[in-house]
Amino acid sequence: MRKLLANPIFLSFAAKTGLTSLIAFVAATIN
């Protein structure tokens, strides 16, 4: 798990995924 967190590619992927789900959640809440 520590190796995954140290991987910048994994971090950027996780950030994009989290951001996308967050936007989807906000959009669903607004509508």
pLDDT tens digits along 1-31: 678 667 888 888 888 998 999 999 999 999 7
Segments forming the whole domain that contains residue 3:
1-31
| pLDDT score for 1 | 62
Model confidence, pTM? 0.50
Question: Distances from the Cα of 8 to the Cαs of 11, 12, 13, 28, 30, in angstroms?
Answer: 5, 6, 8, 30, 33
Q: What total of structural domains would you count in the chain?
A: 1
